[in-house]
Amino acid sequence: MSLLFFLLFLALMILGVPIVFALILAPAISLMVEGKDVFLPFLIQRLYNGIDSFPLMAIPFFILAGEVMNAGKITEHLVNFSKALIGHFRGGLAQVNILSSILFAGMSGSAVADTSALGSMLIPAMEKNGYSRKFSAAVTAASSVIGPIIPPSGIMIIYAYIMNVSVGGLFAAGMIPGLMVGCGLMGITWYLSKKRNYPVAGRRATLKERAVATKDAFWPLLTPIILIGGILTGVFTPTEAAAVAAGYALLVSLFISRSLKFGDLPKVLREAAISSGVILLLVGAAMSFSSIVTLSGAAGYLTNLVLMVSDNRLVILFLFNILLFFVGMFLDAGPAILILGPVLGPVAAEMGVDPLHFAVIMCVNVTVGLATPPMGLILFVASSLSKESIEDITREILPFLAVEVIVIFLITFFPPLCLFIPHLLGFGT
């Protein structure tokens, strides 16, 4: 089988065809042109089987949990908690923004949800506190990429499904890289705040105020502990954990904080259903596409091509990073993983790269791509919230992107940063 399907896919993307249709049409047209119509039912079968999967049920449940948390204003408790801890530092509200993203990551696993929830609250607050809107938007966008890195993560579930990697192991592998990104962003924020003389968010909170903030945030903060603890200890599967997350979010929002009304549920459920449908259809289409990738031997072609360039594993990983970063500028994280995972994953395995290690490299790369121009999705969200142009936000976000790129290369060339916790817990050994 030729690589005509891949050329057709690129052509359809250039023409502006939605990616889900391009993923289906490209291999279908290729099979008809090559006189292999007999494989067309196989494509449809793979589309259906790609969606009909128990592990993928985690995605709509996590999406529902995120929608409930946003509607239930759980974000406010996290922001107040962060402010009580670090709001008195130079550039306090910017630091609060980053810490809130770290905390929010353990609940939603979505960069877009992070940007929307925190940005709508913190961008206006930062502007009132003396920050420029473009800087506020840049901090929000840059820190929101932590969401899909620190578990639970939607894109990690997708990667684990299509590449047959342990979800629990991948979640464990993302912990240190996610915290590295967060700490790096806090470091560059401290430097910029000192250089530009940005204000503190307020006086140092008293012990009583911190206790009150902790009490208000206690139930939301339990979410990642319950989820990750339950998955890693084997109490429940990632799919069951997602259902627990959705149920727990409803319990906290409806009955404990009472910030969500029963009348709000139809809208929350509708939004979650729409988002889930889009993602699952995309996964199904990508499974059809990846089956043709396998049949065509594209991974073998790429392996031979890569080996012609170099047989040094570090050089290959460097080149893959460049490729993934470039792709991330134009494709959303999910499609990038679905398209490139089946192609690059086998090549990395052939070069002796640990599957969990490469999974984290890929997930972090495409996630950072969400904040990278020209097509970074969260840049558009931040621009919409702040009313600042993409260009102005891009200029402000460059120092933060530099930090994230440094983290990417650190986790690439120092595998224990990704593999220490998984190996400690018995994954991938």
Mean of pLDDT values over 370-385: 82
Cis peptide before 220 (omega within 30 of 0): no
Residue 86 pLDDT class (50, 70, 90 cuts) = confident
Residue 201 pLDDT class (50, 70, 90 cuts) = low
Residues 6+ apart with CB under 8 A from 149: 105, 174, 177, 178, 181, 363, 364, 367
99, 140 in Cβ contact below 8 A?
no
How far, in Å, are 37, 283, 292, 336, 340 from residue 29 at the CA level? 9, 20, 12, 22, 20
Considering the chain, what is the average pLDDT of its residues? 83
Residue 402 has pLDDT above 90, yes or no: yes
Q: Which of 330, 400, 332, 329 is nearest to 136 (CA)?
A: 400
The pLDDT of residue 420: 93
The pLDDT of residue 310: 77
Instruction: Give the residue with greater pLDDT, 413 vs 81.
Output: 413
Query: Where are the domains positioned within the chain?
Result: 36-424
Q: How far apart are the first and last CA of the chain?
A: 37
Mean of pLDDT values over 206-223: 83
Query: Rounded to whole angstroms, how far apart are CA atoms 399 and 349?
Result: 33
Mean of pLDDT values over 15-37: 84
pTM beyond 0.85: the answer is no
Q: Which two tokens stand for residue 357?
A: 């290690």
Output phi, psi for 90, to 5 deg.
-60, 135
Q: In the 8-state DSSP scheme, what is residue 90?
A: B
Q: Which of 320, 324, 295 is nearest to 306 (CA)?
A: 320
Residues 6+ apart with CB under 8 A from 141: 115, 119, 371, 376, 378, 379, 381, 382, 393, 397
How far, in Å, are 6, 26, 280 from residue 12 at the CA level? 10, 8, 21
Residues 6+ apart with CB under 8 A from 183: none
Residue 1 has pLDDT above 70, yes or no: no
Mean of pLDDT values over 95-117: 79
Residue 357 pLDDT class (50, 70, 90 cuts) = very high
The pLDDT of residue 143: 93
Mean of pLDDT values over 202-227: 81
Query: Rounded to whole angstroms, how far apart are CA atoms 406 and 389?
Result: 26
The pLDDT of residue 299: 62
Query: Rounded to whole angstroms, how far apart are CA atoms 100 and 86?
Result: 11
Query: Rounded to whole angstroms, how far apart are CA atoms 245 and 253?
Result: 12
Q: Which two tokens stand for residue 397?
A: 């976000």
Residue 429 has pLDDT above 60, yes or no: no
Least confident of 106-115, 171-180, 211-220: 106-115
Reported as a single tens digit per residue, the pLDDT across 246-301 is 888 888 888 887 888 888 889 889 988 887 888 788 778 877 877 777 777 766 67
Query: Rounded to whole angstroms, how far apart are CA atoms 264 and 333?
Result: 30
Residue 376 has pLDDT above 80, yes or no: no
Query: Rounded to whole angstroms, how far apart are CA atoms 375 and 370?
Result: 8
The pLDDT of residue 399: 95
Return the amino acid letter for 57.
M
The pLDDT of residue 387: 85
Instruction: Give the residue with greater pLDDT, 280 vs 406.
Output: 406
Residue 359 has pLDDT above 90, yes or no: yes
Reported as a single tens digit per residue, the pLDDT across 6-15 is 788 888 878 8
Q: What SS3 class is residue 310? A: coil
Residues 6+ apart with CB under 8 A from 229: 235
The pLDDT of residue 300: 67
Q: Which of 198, 190, 199, 103 is nearest to 399 (CA)?
A: 190
Query: Rounded to whole angstroms, how far apart are CA atoms 105 and 285?
Result: 27
Q: What is the CA radius of gyration of the chain?
A: 22
Query: Rounded to whole angstroms, how far apart are CA atoms 365 and 416?
Result: 18
Residues 6+ apart with CB under 8 A from 387: 133
Cis peptide before 152 (omega within 30 of 0): yes
Q: Which of 328, 371, 390 is nearest to 140 (CA)?
A: 371
